[in-house]
RNA sequence: GGAUCGUUAGCUCAACUGGCAGAGCACCUGACUCUUAAUCAGGGGGUUACAGGUUCGAUUCCUGUACGAUCCA
């Protein structure tokens, strides 16, 4: 049947319901839900076959499946958390109500229910319906009851249908919220203030990425959606707000795949008087808290066992490249580094130093090996424009990236607070921009100005929330943990 | 951006080598007072993603487009 026809049939039925019964399901506006279905499942589990309770339960939910047998009918009934069977009987409801039910209630409809718990001959806990109220009608058919909704495109585009058909999807998003709540709890316990900085701004800084551009009509200027919260949050530390964090969406105008959505969610946190090592402890604390919340530190992600028990391994980028690529960058000249890269077919410019090439080797040979949690430290200064230099070796920075399952989970450093150095690094980035690097960091004069007022020594960190949720909910694609993922419009 | 695969009824899927486009669920009508993928009887439902091409004939073969999935950059 073409969808339009089935839809028209349901609309006709609605009209007849209004005319013949004088009842409009869309005018119902309140129902006292005194008990959830979970409550009933929990409190009446003791009932034996054919045993009846005397209690009256008042609840509400959606009819998922109807099984009618003349003067008795069973419904699979579902609320947000649980499924329970309903039993409608002629003898219990009386002729008028039973006929109304039989004639007008369809799968997909919302019902308010007053009923008595009992267990059927076949052993299923059931509510015998004494009264019901048709609270709302479904005009479109429910997705197939047995196979459900599998088409990924429909599931992402019409998440509501996905959630009706696949209740476990609701679990994933509840876990997502639980993870974010856990992030907040740990940060709040450490006296960190949650703040909101602009999503819309005139400079998109704090990371190396292409921004989305939009336009402000009144001011007649182009504006950008933020790619990070870093520079705003550090301004707040200059302003002596103390420990601050922000959890929110970032926007990067880049490719989309299993791990990247143009809009994603991250945490950024900044602590004055702290360094990147303090951020390591915090990262471990947050991740372990989330794992504990969701049921354990040893997890299985798509068949790979990952142990999130701290402390996580700590290793320098140089060590890891030696380990996995067999080349020791601590004892190598720029020329030799370029030669080694060329041998392996890695793309390098003649001006690249060993510090430019080390991260290329890291990406090529090491990243994919970092399955168990690993803090990578010792990033070259040239790829860390906002990070403080290491005191002993100014060519590297006091920074770490945390890798789990070969994904970059967190990025943190002792923040660069030397305004003179910061200005020079921005100028370096400008130079890269002029050489055609579209992801180079824009020069943010006001940020340098803020640093000139004095930023205390500060530890800062960003953690990818979507990836954390993917890992802890065993989700294969970022689209499974973003409730309405970005989709290309389908021209109709 | 490249490669591969996919798109058939509302949903899940068939249709051999190019020969009348099918099933289950859902929907409509009827029967049925303990079913649970209820059952039984009957009925309606299709521009085979879109646009071209080859052919007597295209869901099937070819080209392009759109959207998606997977892998790679």
**pLDDT at residue A184, as a whole number:** 98
E strand intervals along A12-92: 57-69, 72-78, 83-89
Complex-level ipTM: 0.91
Domains A3-142 and A165-312+372-480 alike in fold:
no
B36 C1' to A219 CA distance, Å: 63
Q: For residue A65, which nucleotide's C1' is closest to its Cα? A: B36
Whether nucleic acid strand B comes within 7 Å of the CB of A67, the answer is yes
Q: What per-residue confidence (pLDDT) applies to A491?
A: 61
Chain mean position to CA A50? 45
A141 CB neighbours strand B below 7 A:
yes
In whole angstroms, what is the distance from residue A263 CA to residue A209 CA? 13
User: Does the nearest atom of strand B lie within 7 Å of A257's Cβ?
Assistant: yes
Q: Which nucleotide is nearest to A52 (CA to C1')?
A: B34
The answer to whether strand B lies under 7 Å from the CB of residue A347 is no
Window A14-53, strand B contacts by Cβ < 7 Å: 50
| CA A311, chain centre distance (Å) | 25
Q: What digits encode the pLDDT tens for the residues A13-55?
A: 999 999 999 999 999 999 999 999 999 999 999 999 999 999 9
**Strand B within 7 A of A85 CB:** yes
Superfamily of domain A165-312+372-480: Bira Bifunctional Protein; Domain 2 (3.30.930.10)
Q: What is the pLDDT of residues A195-236, one digit of tens each?
A: 999 999 999 988 888 999 999 999 999 999 999 999 999 999
Q: Read out DSSP for A411-461?
A: EEEEBP--HHHHHHHHHHHHHHHHTT-TTSPPP-HHHHHHHHH---SEEEE
A153 CB contact with strand B at below 7 Å: yes
Q: Could you state, in order of their start, the residue ranges of all structural domains in chain A?
A: 3-142, 165-312+372-480
Ranking A78-92, A139-153, A449-463 by mean pLDDT, the lowest is A139-153
For residues A406-420, give the mean pLDDT: 95
- Mapped onto helix, strand or coil, the DSSP state of residue A70 is coil
What percentage of chain A has pLDDT greater than the value 70? 99
Determine the Cα angle at A414 with ends A315 and A223, to 5°: 115
Q: What is the pLDDT of residues A229-285, one digit of tens each?
A: 999 999 999 999 999 999 999 999 988 999 999 999 999 999 999 999 999 999 999
Both structure tokens of A290:
């989330």
Domain covering A3-142, topology: OB fold (Dihydrolipoamide Acetyltransferase, E2P) (2.40.50)
- C1' (B27) to CA (A10) span, angstroms: 9
The helix, strand and coil proportions of chain A, stated in percent and rounded to the nearest 5, come to 40, 25, 35
A368 in contact with nucleic chain B (CB within 7 A) = no
Q: From residue A369, give the alpha-carbon distance in Å to each of A325, A365, A403, A404, A462.
A: 11, 8, 10, 10, 22
- Kindly report the bases of strand B lying within 7 A of a protein C-beta atom: 1, 9-13, 24-28, 31-39, 44-47, 66-73
* Residue A463, pLDDT above cutoff 60: yes
* Nucleotide B16 C1' to residue A46 CA (A): 56
């Amino acid at each position: 049947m073409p969808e339009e026809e089935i839809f028209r049939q349901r609309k006709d039925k609605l009209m007849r319901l209004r005319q013949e019964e004088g009842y409009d399901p869309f005018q119902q506006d309140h129902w006292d839900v005194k008990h959830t279905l979970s409550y009933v499942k929990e409190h009446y589990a003791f009932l034996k076959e054919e045993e009846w309770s005397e209690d009256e339960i008042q609840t509400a939910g959606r009819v998922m499946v109807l099984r009618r047998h003349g003067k008795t009918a069973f419904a699979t009934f579902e609320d947000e958390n649980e499924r329970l069977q309903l039993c409608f009987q002629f003898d219990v409801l009386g002729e008028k109500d039973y006929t109304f039910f039989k004639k007008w209630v369809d799968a997909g409809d919302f019902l308010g229910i007053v009923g008595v718990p009992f267990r059927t001959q076949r052993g299923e806990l059931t509510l015998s319906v004494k009264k019901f109220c048709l609270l709302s009608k479904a005009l479109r058919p429910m997705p197939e009851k047995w196979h459900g909704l599998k088409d990924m495109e429909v599931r992402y585009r019409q998440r509501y249908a996905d959630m009706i058909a696949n209740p476990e999807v609701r679990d994933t998003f509840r876990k997502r919220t639980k993870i974010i709540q856990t992030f907040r709890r740990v940060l709040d316990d450490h006296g960190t203030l949650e703040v909101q900085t602009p999503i819309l701004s005139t400079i998109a800084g704090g990371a190396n990425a292409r921004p989305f551009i939009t336009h402000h009509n009144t001011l007649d200027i182009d504006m950008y959606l933020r790619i990070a919260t870093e520079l705003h949050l550090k301004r707040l530390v200059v302003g002596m707000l103390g420990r601050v964090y922000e959890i929110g969406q970032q926007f990067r105008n880049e490719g989309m795949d299993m791990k990247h959505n143009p809009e994603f969610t991250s945490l950024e946190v900044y602590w004055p008087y702290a360094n990147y090592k303090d951020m390591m402890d915090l990262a471990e604390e947050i991740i372990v808290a989330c794992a504990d919340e969701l049921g354990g530190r040893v997890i299985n992600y798509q068949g790979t066992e990952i142990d999130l028990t701290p402390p996580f391994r700590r290793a320098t980028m140089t060590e890891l490249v030696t380990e996995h690529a067999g080349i020791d960058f601590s004892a190598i000249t720029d020329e030799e580094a370029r030669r080694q890269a060329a041998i392996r077919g890695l793309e390098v410019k003649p001006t690249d130093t060993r510090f430019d090439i080390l991260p290329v080797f890291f990406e090529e040979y090491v990243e994919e090996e970092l399955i168990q949690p690993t803090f990578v430290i010792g990033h070259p200064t040239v790829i860390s424009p906002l990070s403080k230099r290491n005191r002993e070796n100014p060519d590297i920075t006091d920074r770490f990236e945390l890798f789990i399952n070969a994904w970059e989970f967190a990025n943190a450093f002792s923040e660069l607070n030397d305004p003179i150095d910061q200005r020079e690094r921005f100028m370096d980035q400008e130079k890269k921009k002029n050489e055609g690097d579209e992801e180079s960091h824009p020069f943010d004069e006001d940020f340098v100005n803020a640093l000139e007022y004095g930023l205390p020594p500060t530890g800062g960190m960003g953690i990818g929330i979507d990836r954390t949720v993917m890992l802890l909910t065993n989700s294969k694609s970022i689209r499974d943990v973003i409730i309405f993922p970005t989709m290309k419009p389908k021209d109709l």
